[in-house]
């Protein structure tokens, strides 16, 4: 018996070591390291990296671009997350039935999942091109004046919201469709026998049963929204006039264009804090509205 346990120790460590070493080296060690760096002045220009206490964090508080970046990140998240969820829910409900061409409709939605953020951004820059873009053409057909879109400080962020909602449609449709198909038919039948119309059934039966999926999507999409980078990097580089500078873009800019590793680490930890706070709030609030069967 004791030998079996001893072999467990050996086998256990032998099995986990390769994977764990990688994760410790590239995951755990960097977490501690960047925490330390956030208290150092580290800008690659000077060889020494002296500890400067909270100087990086203080600098952040007084940095007007950080304030703007926080604002843009939150506006973006507040529009992108509900937008994607509503579009996904609507399409999933519409697609959750056996009608002709349904697999074609579904595949069209799923296809948005297969496209990388970079491909997506390039297509949307072209669609929203101020001079030759097809969106401005559609606008002209219905009498809307020509827009500057990504060149306009007041519009650029919303164009990025639109392109990312499109890019995440497939994902939210898949999640909601899976959840819809888990709803037992008998519950919906019972509701209709009791005289509930389709809308009432949806509000009172379907929507509450979808709440775990909604909570998952809200949390997942928010975590991704707070880390928005690829589309901004490709389409606007944070411009025009910093109108689309979001936290991760500014962090990347500080880290790998200005090489202020210390300051960038402080921003990274601030981002981490924001993600934790927002996620905890979502779970707290979500728990009140989430209904779990079983």
Site for other proteins in 183-202 (CB under 8 A): 183, 185, 188-189, 192-193, 197-198, 201
**DSSP H stretches of helix in 236-260:** 247-256
Smallest separation, CB 50 to other proteins (Å): 17
At closest approach, how far in Å is the CB of 41 from other proteins? 14
Helix residue ranges, H only, 112-258: 117-127, 134-141, 156-181, 185-193, 198-201, 207-209, 211-226, 230-235, 247-256
Interface pick for other proteins out of 43, 49, 65, 105 (rule CB under 8 A): 105
φ, ψ for residue 288, nearest 5 deg? -70, -30
Q: How far apart are alpha carbons 197 and 203 in whole angstroms?
A: 10
To the nearest whole angstrom, how small is the minimum distance from the Cβ of residue 9 to other proteins? 5
Q: How far apart are the first and last CA of the chain?
A: 40
Task: Determine if 139 is a binding residue for other proteins (CB under 8 A).
Answer: no
Q: For residue 225, what are the contacts with CB-CB under 8 A and spacing of at least 6?
A: 73, 76, 77, 80, 81, 164
Q: Which position among 50, 78, 119, 277 is part of the footprint of other proteins (CB under 8 A)? A: 119
Q: Does 212 bind other proteins (CB under 8 A)?
A: yes
Instruction: Decide whether 28 or 285 has the Cβ nearer to other proteins.
Output: 28
**One residue of 27, 67, 144, 277 binding other proteins per CB under 8 A:** 27
Contact between residue 189 and residue 44 where contact means Cβ atoms under 8 Å apart: no
Least spacing, CB of residue 119 vs other proteins, in Å: 4
Give the contact letters, 156-185, x = binds to other proteins (CB under 8 A), - = no.
----------x--x-x--xx-xxxxxxx-x
């Amino acid at each position: 018996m004791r030998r079996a346990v001893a072999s467990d120790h050996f086998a256990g460590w032998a099995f986990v070591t390769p994977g764990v070493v990688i994760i410790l080296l590239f995951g755990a060690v960097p977490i501690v390291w960047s925490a330390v760096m956030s208290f150092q002045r580290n800008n690659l220009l000077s060889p020494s990296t002296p500890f400067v206490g909270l100087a990086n964090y203080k600098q952040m508080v007084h940095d007007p671009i950080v304030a703007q970046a926080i604002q843009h990140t939150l506006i973006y998240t507040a529009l992108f997350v509900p937008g994607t969820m509503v579009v996904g829910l609507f399409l999933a409900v519409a697609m959750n039935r056996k009608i002709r061409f349904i697999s074609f409709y579904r595949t069209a939605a799923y296809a948005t999942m297969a496209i990388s953020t970079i491909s997506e951004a390039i297509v949307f820059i072209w669609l929203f091109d101020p001079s030759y873009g097809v969106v401005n053409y559609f606008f002209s057909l219905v009498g809307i004046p020509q827009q500057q879109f990504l060149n306009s400080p007041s519009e650029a962020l919303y164009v990025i919201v639109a392109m990312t909602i499109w890019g995440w449609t497939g994902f939210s449709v898949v999640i909601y469709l899976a959840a819809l198909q888990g709803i037992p038919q008998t519950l919906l039948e019972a509701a209709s026998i009791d005289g509930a119309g389709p809308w009432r059934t949806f509000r009172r039966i379907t929507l509450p049963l979808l709440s775990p999926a909604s909570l998952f999507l809200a949390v997942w999409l928010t975590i991704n929204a707070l880390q928005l980078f690829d589309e901004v990097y490709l389409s606007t580089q944070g411009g025009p006039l910093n109108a689309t500078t979001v936290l991760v873009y500014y962090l990347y800019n500080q880290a790998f264009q200005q090489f202020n590793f210390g300051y960038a680490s402080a921003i990274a930890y601030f981002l981490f804090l924001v993600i934790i706070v927002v996620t905890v709030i979502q779970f707290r609030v979500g728990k009140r509205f989430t209904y779990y069967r079983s």
